[in-house]
Amino acid sequence: MSAKVASQTDIDGMRQAGRLAANVLDMIGQYVKPGVTTEQLDRICHRYIVNEIDCIPAPLNYRNSPEAPPFPRSICTSVNQVVCHGIPSPKKTLKNGDILNIDVTVIKEGYHGDTSKMFLLGKPSVLAERLVRVTQECLYLGIAAVRPDATLGDIGHAIETHARANRFSVVHEFGGHGIGKIFHDEPQVLHFGRPGTGTKIEQGMTFTVEPMLNAGRRHVRILPDKWTVVTKDHKLSAQWEHTILVTETGAEVLTLRAEEALALPQRAVGTGS
Ligand code: MF3
Ligand code: CO
Ligand code: CO
Which ligand gives the minimal distance to the CA of 61? 1
* Domains identified in the chain, total number: 1
- Confirm whether 233 is domain-assigned: yes
Residue nearest to atom 8 of ligand 1 (CA): 59
Q: How are beta strands 56-57 and 99-108 bridged, if at all?
A: antiparallel
Q: Which residues line ligand 1 (CB under 6 A)?
A: 59, 62, 71, 76, 85, 103, 105, 114, 208, 210, 227, 241
Residue nearest to atom 12 of ligand 1 (CA): 59
Asked whether residue 2 is assigned to any structural domain, the reply reads no
Domain-located, residue 1: no
- For a mutational test of ligand 1's pocket, the pick from 85, 171, 226, i.e. the residue with the most ligand atoms closer than 8 A to its C-beta, is 85
Q: Which atom of ligand 1 is nearest to the CA of 87?
A: 11
CATH number of the domain enclosing 167:
3.90.230.10
The pLDDT tens digits of the residues spanning 173-188 come to: 999 999 999 999 999 9
What is the pTM (predicted TM-score) of this model?
A: 0.96
In a domain, 204, yes or no: yes
Closest residue by CA, ligand 1 atom 7 = 59
Return the pLDDT at 270.
47
Which of 236, 233, 205 has the alpha carbon at shortest distance from 220? 233
pLDDT of 97-113, one tens digit each? 999 999 999 999 999 99
